[in-house]
Amino acid sequence: MYIQQIYTNCLAHAAYYIESGNEAAVIDPLRDPEPYIKLAKERGATIKYVLETHFHADFVSGHIDLANQTGAAIVYGPGATPAYKIYLGEDGEKLRLGKVHIEVVHTPGHTIESTCFLLLDENDKKHAIFTGDTLFVGDVGRPDLLSGNLSKETLAAMLFDSLKYKIKTLPDDVIVYPGHGAGSACGKNIGTQSYTTIGEQRASNYALLTEDKDAFIHAVTTDLPVVPAYFFKDASVNKAGYNPFDEVMNRNLQALSIAEFTAVQKQGSLVLDTRSPMDFAAGYIHGAINIGLSGDFAVWVGTVIDVDTPILLVTEPGKEKEAVERLARIGYEKVNGYLQSGMHSWFAAQNKFDQLMTFDGSECGPLLATEDYNLLDVRNRLEVAKHRMAGSVHIPLNILKAKLDSIDKNKKWLVYCAGGYRSMIAASLLKAHGFNFVASIEGGIKEVMHQAPELVEMDLE
């Protein structure tokens, strides 16, 4: 028996490859099927099942393409009603995989069809459970995604029962392999470990420690993060089906000359610049939004840009394919091409470009004293509760777009976050919406604390 976790940082997502004998199963694959096919081929195995824990909201799954290319059966648990052919497992049903079995464990709560897959070893011993978005390290799946006519409270009540009667009854030594890690918006505060055990979670996870159903419902339905708008589109796509991944890549990965790029931009396409924040600040195409590939790219694209927006890409040369692929993973398929040779060609042609000012921590004090800049903190509420720059206006990046009308365009804004990644997204968004006086703090509040700690207020809780 062989198990491999395949983790994708920018989505905080874990897919799994399970093998026994010469048969394999893949759980919750991302959209590009090639890595899973390659792994099975290298190990001399045939992919028999593609197991889906639920209709994912935060990414477009690769289940359909993987099944089409391998002949594997797509397996969902009870309650799933997709528009394509699947094998609908029954609660408690055991699927044979080589010398082991995988048991279907229906655990509604995150969604109606949410299902965990319990791996039984060669001796029929309960070895590991793949929990999808039902149980995370230190957290559980939020009950407010694609609930249809059911309230989050109703789904939370279902989740309580699923955990009590299906998860907490498992032996302590059963390994828990969750669908997401820290940073995913599918939970409230997921831990950093990539796996855990039932015993560890029974002892430390607030959701499993809560014995009263009403208290549980209150705990899992309060302080939920804002849902990125693309979540609901992706969940629908995963249920209805989608265009083949290769077809999307071939259509979207088109190199454009400067003339072609400019013409498409004039037709209404948004320029998405995926370079590093500092490279972007040094020179960018007017109206561009900066979301760097080096950070939580998928999450922030899905938060800041509407999923149906036509996009033009500016990347570092050689990063075009990665950008298109990572957009396709979250259902962003309206990419009208990329600027050939990136900003190097733009600069070489002596085209006009914009720049965005940045200041390091040592410059902030004199700047705030003499130039009348206003501070905009785009971190989340928990970060701000620990420390902030004195006098800051707090608007988290995940709601900034909706709050633009409440911000005075005539003021000078100095934007900061923890390290400079989110603040450049925010600053570029402000500039694209007509804010003239915008700058970003290089290195974020971390550098301010190091270089000018007197500007920071601590322990605000």
Q: What is the pLDDT of residue 461?
A: 58
Under-70 pLDDT residues of the chain:
146-148, 460-461
Tokens of 115: 């299902």
CB 60 within 8 Å of CB 330: yes
The two tokens of residue 433 are: 């919406």
Residue 146: the pLDDT is 67
**Tokens in use for 336?**
């009208």
Instruction: Note the pLDDT of residue 189.
Output: 86
CA distance 324 to 102: 35
| Residue-range domains of the chain with CATH | 2-231 (3.60.15.10), 243-348 (3.40.250.10), 357-458 (3.40.250.10)
Q: What is the DSSP string of 408-429?
A: -TTSEEEEE-SSSHHHHHHHHH
- pLDDT recorded at residue 65: 98
Q: Please report the pLDDT score of residue 10 as a whole number.
A: 86
Kindly give, in sequence order, each residue whose CB lies less than 8 Å from that of residue 57, ignoring residues fewer than 6 positions away.
Answer: 145, 146, 186, 231, 232, 234, 235
Contacts of residue 350, Cβ cutoff 8 Å, sequence gap at least 6? none
DSSP string, 4-68: EEEEEGGGTEEEEEEEETTEEEEES--S--HHHHHHHHHTT-EEEEEE-SS--SSS--SHHHHHH
Q: How far apart are CA 197 and CA 195, in angstroms?
A: 7
pLDDT attached to residue 183: 87
Tabulate helix, strand, coil % of the chain (nearest 5). Answer: 35, 25, 40
Q: Which two tokens stand for residue 449?
A: 């604390």
pLDDT the model gives residue 188: 87
State the first-to-last Cα distance of the chain, in angstroms, to the nearest integer.
48
